[in-house]
Amino acid sequence: MYKSQSKTALYKNLGRAGLVMLCIAKLKGRYKKPNADYDSMSMPELITAVSQARREDGITDDADRVIGGKSRKTRVLGKTTLREIRHDMARQKFPSWFARAPGHPGESKWGKFTADQWKAFCTVHLPTTLTRLWGSKPSDSTERMMLDNFMHLVQAVKAANARVITREHIAQYEHHITAYVTQLLRLYPGTTITPYQHLSLHFGRLLRNIGPTHAWRCFNFERYNYLM
């Protein structure tokens, strides 16, 4: 996205939250600014900073037109990997209380995941298969970098959901979620940083002020979604 989209499309798709994350990912090492500086910048200031960086990188000309750029789509899993995930899911055994995901992920006819099923799928099923398939690949390969990036998210989710929260848990969460979000833009050029991903960078503050999430998260309410 940083390298391929036009100025109008880039800023329309990203929005302010996405531009902040783009500046952190692409410009932090260049201008040595702390993350908070980008977070406090106005939308015009963010647009100016990104536009200047794209011109310096030779991506756009002086009129902010992409130089020979073509948009490209990003494929993450694909049919072969999904087939391996389903194969592993069919062989795994879990206790009765475990909210395992539907056995055919990626197929809409099997319905949507609940929040608990998404959590199980992303923190148990995906790591099992992706580590088996990609864990032994070279550290600079695309698959290995995608796996390392995803595991930052898994570790962040586990730290945030701990029933006992310490300062170390919060520090781990903030480290992993920052690494996950900032690497997204480099690994997936066509992605868009969502407001939820931006807000996740501030979640450590809630953990410090309120405590463990099991006391105030919405899982208890969402269990009634299929009963009411």
Three-state DSSP string of 93-148: CCCCCCCCCCCCCCCHHHCCCCHHHHHHHHHHHHHHHHHHHHCCCCCCCHHHHHHH
Residue 75: pLDDT over 50: yes
46 φ/ψ angles, rounded to the nearest 5 degrees: -65, -45
Distance between CA atoms of residues 115 and 50, nearest Å:
35
**In 3-state terms, what secondary structure has residue 190?**
coil
Q: What is the pTM of this model?
A: 0.63
pLDDT of residue 158: 92
Cβ neighbours of residue 130 closer than 8 Å, sequence gap 6 or more: 81, 147, 150
Cα angle vertex 167, ends 213, 163, to 5°? 30
Residue with tokens 């979620």: 177
Tens digit of pLDDT for each residue in 93-107?
888 888 777 777 766
Residue 74: pLDDT over 50: no
Residue with tokens 């206790």: 95
**In 3-state terms, what secondary structure has residue 40?**
coil
Tens digit of pLDDT for each residue in 79-134?
888 889 999 998 988 888 887 777 777 666 656 777 778 888 999 999 999 999 99
pLDDT of residue 166: 92
- Identify which has the larger pLDDT, 228 or 210: 210
pLDDT of residue 2: 66
Eight-class DSSP state of 223: T
> What's the whole-number mean pLDDT along residues 37-48?
83
Residue of 211, 123, 218 whose CA lies nearest to 169? 211
pLDDT of residue 58: 77
> What's the whole-number mean pLDDT along residues 192-200?
87
Residue 33: pLDDT over 70: no
Distance between CA atoms of residues 226 and 73, nearest Å:
35
Residue 25 near residue 182, CB atoms below 8 Å: yes
- Here the tokens at position 38 are 């980008």
Strand partners, 66: 60
How does residue 180 score in pLDDT terms, banded at 50, 70 and 90? Answer: very high
